[in-house]
């Protein structure tokens, strides 16, 4: 069984083919970072247009790389939400059209379910149940996962997501978009103890996060250093040592909060497996801190391969595959009803386990 996965929820066009043994047969990814970076963030209209131009050729390219024709596919999965409506519409048009045209099942997937399940593509996948720390550009959540589609929200961000905190801080210290990788790189040359930034809600006793105070703290520090954070000419003039030390301070604050809260959730729930997923889970410091904390607590840590942390088509194909294997495989009229249906706002915990349909594969 070979499933095509399509991801177009934001600024990455991702396409992949995954088989029933969870092997990625082919994948193709185009990042729009360069296009959006001059605007300091994602421009939704540009994102949609770029997905339109690239998606169909990338599907052909993936089939060719897997040594297949379109007609060899057994199912199509695309990201239905959450994300930018116009960007989602591109995948939610081509995905169902392909499935209908080929007479195979098709399924709209929750983007965060894709992230959450991405460590299942590993050679040693985590077994259910597990605790998941989901940290992407728009979400920072602690989720209890008892099975496919059985997700309970334990903690959420009250304001900015961890990725957003990386991105906003990066912008203020004169780095491009997205900020996470740039901060992580500079932090490697900086001193994290020079600027100690706040760790909001670190010992609040609950599992919620708050990162908006971090940008205010960075702003205040920059002003003390004589820099106007809203003026790119001024931020670009920041001394390299100050920029590196600030990057290290920001990274240390975000990673410590994520690590302490994830381990608190482990203690509260008694889970013995922790999964991290989403763009921020590519962060080396976070992986190292959680690795040490989990080893200390006798907890298994599962991190997706770094290339699968950020948005990609393979995680969407995998989520589609797992649901279709359980019989959730709409065809015909039921599938047609999903065409152009997008859910820009969609809570992960509202999902249900796979619901077998009459027209199952």
Q: Tell me how crowded residue 98 is: count the other CB atoms within 10 A of its CB.
A: 19
The yes or no reply on residue 167 touching ligand KG4 (CB under 6 A) is yes
The yes or no reply on residue 180 touching ligand KG4 (CB under 6 A) is yes
Q: Decide: helix, strand or coil at residue 287.
A: helix
- Is 163 within 8 Å of 137 (Cβ atoms)? yes
User: In the bound complex, what is the minimum distance in angstroms from residue 349's beta carbon to ligand KG4?
Assistant: 17
- Is 349 within 8 Å of 151 (Cβ atoms)? yes
Binding mask 244-283 for ligand KG4 (x = CB under 6 A): ----------------------------------xxx-xx
Which of 16-24, 68-76, 176-184, 343-351 is the region at the interface with ligand KG4 (rule: CB under 6 A)?
A: 176-184
Q: Decide: helix, strand or coil at residue 360.
A: coil
Which among 139, 76, 72, 71 is positioned nearest to 111, based on CA atoms?
A: 139
- Is 177 within 8 Å of 33 (Cβ atoms)? yes
The yes or no reply on residue 346 touching ligand KG4 (CB under 6 A) is no
User: In the bound complex, what is the minimum distance in angstroms from residue 2's beta carbon to Zn ion?
Assistant: 24
Residue showing tokens 């999903």: 338
According to DSSP, residue 127 is labeled P
> Of 136, 140, 141, 157, which lies in the binding site for Zn ion, with binding defined by CB under 5 A?
136
User: In the bound complex, what is the minimum distance in angstroms from residue 138's beta carbon to ligand KG4?
Assistant: 5
Which of 26-34, 55-63, 129-137, 152-160 is the region at the interface with Zn ion (rule: CB under 5 A)?
A: 129-137
Q: Which is nearer to ligand KG4, 55 or 247 (CB)?
A: 247
Cα separations in angstroms, 222 against 163, 239, 256? 20, 11, 22
The yes or no reply on residue 311 touching Zn ion (CB under 5 A) is yes
Which of 23-31, 130-138, 158-166, 195-203 is the region at the interface with Zn ion (rule: CB under 5 A)?
A: 130-138
User: Number of residues in contact with ligand KG4, rule: CB under 6 A?
Assistant: 19
> Of 8, 141, 157, 310, which lies in the binding site for ligand KG4, with binding defined by CB under 6 A?
310
Q: Which is nearer to ligand KG4, 10 or 276 (CB)?
A: 10
Residues 135-154 that bind ligand KG4 (CB under 6 A): 136-138
The yes or no reply on residue 82 touching ligand KG4 (CB under 6 A) is no
Which among 235, 172, 237, 224 is positioned nearest to 195, based on CA atoms?
A: 224
344: left (phi over 0), alpha (psi -120 to 50) or beta: alpha
- Render 194-223 in DSSP notation, one character per residue: TS----TTTTSSSS-B--HHHHHHHHHHHH
Beta strands in 48-206 (DSSP E): 75-81, 106-110, 130-135, 140-147, 150-155
- Is 312 within 8 Å of 282 (Cβ atoms)? no
Q: Which is nearer to Zn ion, 245 or 311 (CB)?
A: 311
Rg (alpha carbons) of the chain, rounded to whole number: 21
* Binding at 304: pick from Zn ion, ligand KG4, none (beta carbon under 5-8 Å per type): none
Residue showing tokens 């065809």: 331
User: In the bound complex, what is the minimum distance in angstroms from residue 201's beta carbon to ligand KG4?
Assistant: 19
User: In the bound complex, what is the minimum distance in angstroms from residue 112's beta carbon to ligand KG4?
Assistant: 8
Half-sphere exposure of residue 93, counting CA atoms within 13 Å on the CB side?
11
Terminal CA-CA length for the chain: 10
User: In the bound complex, what is the minimum distance in angstroms from residue 41's beta carbon to ligand KG4?
Assistant: 10
Residues 184-203 that bind ligand KG4 (CB under 6 A): 184
Which of 28-36, 159-167, 281-289, 309-317 is the region at the interface with Zn ion (rule: CB under 5 A)?
A: 309-317
* Binding at 184: pick from Zn ion, ligand KG4, none (beta carbon under 5-8 Å per type): ligand KG4
79: left (phi over 0), alpha (psi -120 to 50) or beta: beta
Residues that bind ligand KG4 (CB under 6 A): 10, 136-138, 163, 166-167, 178-181, 184, 278-280, 282-283, 310-311
Residues that bind Zn ion (CB under 5 A): 136, 311
């Amino acid at each position: 069984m070979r499933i095509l996965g399509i991801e177009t929820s934001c600024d990455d066009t991702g396409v992949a083919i995954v088989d029933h043994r969870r092997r990625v047969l082919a994948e193709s990814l185009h990042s729009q970072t360069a296009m959006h970076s001059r605007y300091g963030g994602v421009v939704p209209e540009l994102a949609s247009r770029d997905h339109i131009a690239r998606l169909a050729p990338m599907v052909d390219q993936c089939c060719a790389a897997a040594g297949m024709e379109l007609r060899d596919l057994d199912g199509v999965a695309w990201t239905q939400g959450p994300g930018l409506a116009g960007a989602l519409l591109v995948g939610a048009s081509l995905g169902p059209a392909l499935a209908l045209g080929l007479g195979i099942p098709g399924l709209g997937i929750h983007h965060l379910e894709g992230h959450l399940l991405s460590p299942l593509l590993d050679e040693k996948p985590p077994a259910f149940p597990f605790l998941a720390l989901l940290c992407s550009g728009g979400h920072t959540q602690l989720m209890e996962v008892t099975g496919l589609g059985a997700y309970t929200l334990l903690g959420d961000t009250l304001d900015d997501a961890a990725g957003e905190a990386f991105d906003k801080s990066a912008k203020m210290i004169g780095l491009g978009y997205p900020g996470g990788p740039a901060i992580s790189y500079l932090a490697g040359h900086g001193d994290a103890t020079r600027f100690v930034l706040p760790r909001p809600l670190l010992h609040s006793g609950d599992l919620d996060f708050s990162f908006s105070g971090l940008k205010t703290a960075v702003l205040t520090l920059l002003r003390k250093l004589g820099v106007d954070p809203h003026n790119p000419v001024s931020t670009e003039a920041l001394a390299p040592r100050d920029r590196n030390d600030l990057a290290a301070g920001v990274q240390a604050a975000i990673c410590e909060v994520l690590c302490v809260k994830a381990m608190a959730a482990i203690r509260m729930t008694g889970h013995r497996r922790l999964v991290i997923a989403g763009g921020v889970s590519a962060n080396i410091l976070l992986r190292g801190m959680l690795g040490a904390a989990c080893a200390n607590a006798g907890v298994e840590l599962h991190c997706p391969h770094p290339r699968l942390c950020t948005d990609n088509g393979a995680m969407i194909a995998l989520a589609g595959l797992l649901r279709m294997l359980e019989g959730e495989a709409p065809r015909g009229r039921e599938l047609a009803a999903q065409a152009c249906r997008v859910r820009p706002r969609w809570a992960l915990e509202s999902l249900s386990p796979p619901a077998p349909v009459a027209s199952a594969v």
